[in-house]
Amino acid sequence: MVDILHRVGVIASPDAVYTALTTIDGLSGWWTEKTTSAGDDVIRFRFDRPQGEDGFDMKVLKTVPGELVHWEVVAGPEEWIGTHVRFQLKQEDDYTIVLFSQEGWKEPVEFMYHCSTKWGTFLMSLKELVETGAGKPAPDDVQISNWH
């Protein structure tokens, strides 16, 4: 079992970051514009690819205002299903620190290398959204390679 880890600091309150992680409006402002509620505490994230639409469904397992957002991947690429995504928040000086993890990858496959870098750029998009009002969600996300 291997994990993806990241740490970014957002110059904003924990509540502002928490809102960007727990509302459709917030999530669609930094990850993908195609974010919808699928009921039953499931959030649906979709991406337009050359080969058609794909994406992830996240079951919200736990939220603690200003402190924690915890999802489980319930639909998406096989390698993602059953992994857990956590955003832990804490305040340090003027920053809200986001400790991010996607835990439970079975193998460090090449797709995991890709997702690690993509999560990094999306977390920078989260930082930008909360700090400036505009992030870089898909389809206008930062392209890092031939896999987009």
List residues near a second copy by CB under 8 A: 2-9, 92-95, 97, 99-101, 108, 110, 112-114, 116-117, 120-121, 123-124, 127, 142, 144-147
Looking at the Cβ atoms of 62 and 113, the one nearer to a second copy is 113
Q: What is the layout of strands, in order, in the sheet containing 68-75?
A: 2-10, 95-105, 84-92, 68-75, 52-64, 42-49, 34-37
User: CB burial class (10 A; 0-12, 13-18, 19+) of residue 128?
Assistant: middle
Minimum distance of a second copy from residue 118's CB (angstroms): 9
Minimum distance of a second copy from residue 84's CB (angstroms): 14
User: CB burial class (10 A; 0-12, 13-18, 19+) of residue 20?
Assistant: buried
Looking at the Cβ atoms of 44 and 127, the one nearer to a second copy is 127
Looking at the Cβ atoms of 5 and 24, the one nearer to a second copy is 5
Minimum distance of a second copy from residue 122's CB (angstroms): 10
